[in-house]
């Protein structure tokens, strides 16, 4: 199986020993505590799950700035975006060496992790602007990732953590949420050697389905993992439970049996386009995938990024830094002559024969109460999505 990123062995930070975890939960009640931002809580879940291997906790300001400027930590590890615990108010933990981090997304704010505090550093306005601009390629507050990053404060609390829960993800998505450790176990049980990973925050329409099948064919893959984001999204995106149901129906009816795993991870979307694509590659390698599918405008939003910027950024990744391979998808269209979804680069026909496919178009049609044509979505999948939009009116 492919090695984890940055180490020979996966290092999930979740405390799996029940007795140790209970002792830490008890200890946490006597520690100074803060309620984290949703983004920091998502980072803790990803660290606990092993997805952010080999990190041992939250980055300090120097590492955050280095990651933003050079796409590597001060020690030289490839990393595309800061993994941080940033707060507005640190008065409750001033001078503390060990603190409890409380979950903002669960009622009662239970303890999610314990952190050993190595530093509390105040980032300047220039620091925040530089990090924002480098990671998101814009400082426009209308960008949902920029707005989220700049809304949580400017005090960087760094240091290693011990993770005590997976927040709401295990309870709300018991069939779907998996850690990187669990997915490696699934791959091993299947006996898969070559594994494609498909990232999604949307339901999968026909173009997505064909991208997965094309990648599997190109790499002669034994299986694929549809890996959906389960955390916070921007307004207008389709909720995770609806996406999950639609994707499972597509997998059941239109993929070979035992060729697909449907899974999800606990993280808030960054909408950071190219930088987020590299982060996706890192944590898909950690979960055991050998190929990441990167399509048009991967992890993008609006028109902040070029259609293929998230593919081009991998040319900047140093040779050998990643073991996972990148399948670069072209524009996908329905070709009336081929009678199938095709990538434009592989099709001999012309634009007059094409129906353009996009997740945005699908959402617009659904929101308007329009039937999805079969070129966009299988009828069984469309039925689930249309049901959600009718019930949410």
HSE of 139, CA atoms in CB hemisphere, 13 A:
9
Whether 202 is catalytic is yes
Q: Which of 178, 202, 284, 363 is catalytic?
A: 202
3-state secondary structure of 65: helix
Whether 201 is catalytic is yes
Please say whether the beta carbons of 177 and 165 come within 8 A.
no
| Cis bond upstream, residue 149 (ω within 30) | no
Nearest of 242, 246, 284, 237 to residue 265 by alpha carbon: 284
Q: Which of 102, 184, 201, 284 is catalytic?
A: 201
DSSP 122-174: EPPHHHHHHHHHHHHS---TTSHHHHHHTTS-SEEEEEEEEE---TTHHHH-T
Q: How far is CA 17 from CA 21, 129, 180, in A?
A: 6, 41, 17
How many angstroms from the chain centroid is the CA of residue 136? 15
- Write b or e for each residue in 74-94: b if 16 or more Cβ atoms lie within 10 A of its Cβ, otherwise e: eeebbbbbbbbbbbeebeebe
The phi-psi region of residue 271 (left if phi > 0; otherwise alpha if psi is between -120 and 50; otherwise beta) is left
Q: Which two tokens stand for residue 183?
A: 């997915």
In angstroms, rounded to a whole number, what is the distance separating the alpha carbons of residues 42 and 268?
Answer: 6
Strand 155-163 relative to strand 195-200, pairing: unpaired
Please say whether the beta carbons of 264 and 173 come within 8 A.
yes
3-state secondary structure of 94: coil
Q: Which residues are catalytic?
A: 201-202
């Amino acid at each position: 199986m492919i090695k984890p990123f940055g180490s020979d062995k996966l290092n999930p930070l979740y405390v799996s020993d029940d007795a140790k975890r209970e002792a830490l939960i008890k200890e946490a009640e006597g520690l100074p505590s803060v309620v984290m931002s949703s983004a920091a809580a998502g980072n803790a879940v990803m660290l606990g799950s092993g997805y952010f291997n080999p990190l041992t906790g939250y980055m300090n300001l120097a590492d955050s700035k280095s990651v933003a400027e050079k796409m590597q930590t001060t020690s030289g590890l490839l990393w595309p975006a800061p993994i941080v615990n940033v707060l507005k108010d640190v008065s409750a933990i001033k001078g503390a060496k060990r603190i409890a981090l409380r979950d903002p997304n669960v009622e009662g704010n239970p303890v999610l992790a314990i952190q050993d505090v190595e530093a509390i550093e105040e980032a300047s306005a220039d620091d925040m602007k530089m990090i924002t601009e480098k990671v998101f390629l814009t400082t426009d507050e209308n960008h949902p990732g920029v707005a989220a990053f700049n809304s949580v404060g400017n005090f960087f609390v760094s240091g290693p953590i011990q993770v005590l829960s997976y927040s709401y993800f295990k309870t709300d998505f018991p069939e779907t949420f998996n850690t990187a450790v669990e997915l490696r176990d699934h791959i091993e049980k299947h006996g898969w050697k070559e594994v494609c990973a498909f990232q999604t925050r949307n339901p999968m329409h026909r173009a997505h389905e064909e991208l997965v099948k094309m990648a599997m064919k190109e790499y002669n893959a034994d299986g694929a993992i549809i890996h959906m984001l389960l955390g916070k999204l921007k307004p207008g995106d389709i909720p995770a439970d609806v996406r999950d149901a639609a994707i499972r129906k597509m997998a059941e009816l239109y993929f070979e049996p035992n060729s697909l795993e449907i899974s999800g991870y606990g993280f808030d979307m960054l909408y950071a386009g190219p930088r987020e694509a590299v982060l996706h590659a890192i944590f898909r390698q950690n979960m055991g995938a050998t190929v990441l599918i990167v399509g048009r405008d991967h992890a993008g939003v609006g028109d902040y990024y070029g259609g293929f910027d998230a593919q081009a950024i991998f040319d900047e990744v140093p040779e050998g830094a990643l073991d996972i391979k990148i399948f670069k998808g072209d524009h996908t269209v329905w070709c009336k002559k081929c009678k199938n979804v095709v990538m434009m680069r592989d099709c001999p026909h012309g634009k007059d024969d094409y129906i353009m496919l996009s997740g945005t178009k699908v959402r617009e049609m659904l929101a308007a109460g329009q039937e999805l044509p079969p070129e966009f979505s299988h009828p069984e999948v469309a039925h689930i999505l249309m049901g959600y939009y009718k019930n949410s009116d």
